[in-house]
Structure 1
């Protein structure tokens, strides 16, 4: 059951990103399709499902990784929150094209950083607080890959 929910969780993340990109492109083009009901309600439904699957994965995880206890899990949660805030900046708060693009780049960066943390097994077992240098190296490597 854990693996099914984990894959559902990853699928939800992918769908939120796809809907964000579609909504962003339509907004930049000035299309009336931005007001489509699916594009308005869909992300909220996906975020709710994301939180439900997140809670399930945290409660039954085999490595006992809990937010606010383990640095890795806390970083994943913080990355998701900043990702959602970046999407909100790009789609709602920004009034100029420049800030919308800043929101887009920020959302892509935080999604990539959070995804990269998911594959950082050495950080899962040690915890961020015990291996700060590994986290810094990870951040530098992500920036180098993006730039």
Structure 2
């Protein structure tokens, strides 16, 4: 059951990003289709499912990775919150094209950082004091490559 929920969790992440990209393109075009009911309600349903699968994975996880106890799990939760805030910034708060593009880049960055953190198996067993700077340690090489 754990693996089924884990794969559902990863699929939900991919679908939320797909919804974001569709909304972003429609917003940049100034299309009225951005107000379609599926595009308005769909992401909220997916975020709810995401949180439900997250809670299940945290409760049942075999490595005892709990947010606010383990730095890895806390960083994953923080990455998700920043990912959602970046989406909100790109689609709702930003009023000009340059700021929307900043929101797009921020969204992609936080998705990539959180995904990269998910594959950092050596960090999963560290405590919060060792893992407090996980995003900084993982992001430094990525930012160096981009700049």
| Greater RCO (CA < 8 Å, at least 6 residues apart) | 2
Q: Normalising TM by the smaller chain, what interval? A: over 0.9
- Residues 133/28 of structure 1: CA separation in 2 closer, same or farther (3 Å cut): closer
Which residue of structure 1 lines up, in the alignment, with residue 26 of structure 2?
26
Paired residues of 2:26 and 2:33 also in contact (CA < 8 A): yes
Name the TM-score, length of structure 2 as normaliser.
0.93
Residue 106 of structure 1: aligned partner? 106
For normalisation by structure 1, the TM-score amounts to: 0.93
Residue in 1 that maps onto 2:68: 68
Equivalent pairs counted in the alignment come to 147
Structure 2, gaps ≥5 residues long? none
User: Structure 1 residues 132, 7: CA separation in 2 closer, same or farther (over 3 Å shift)?
Assistant: same
What aligned pairs does 1:15-54 form with structure 2 within 5 A after superposition? 15-54=15-54
Q: CA, structure 1 residues 91+129, in 2 after alignment: closer, same or farther (shift >3 Å)?
A: same
1:46-99, CA deviations, whole angstroms, 9 ceiling, x for partnerless residues?
A: 000000000000000000000000000000000000000000000001111111
Distance change (3 Å), C-alpha of 1:122 and 1:13:
same
**Residue pair 2:87, 2:107 contacting (<8 A) in 1 also:** yes
Where does structure 1 lack aligned partners over 5 or more consecutive residues? Answer: none
The root-mean-square deviation of aligned C-alpha atoms, in Å, is 1.6
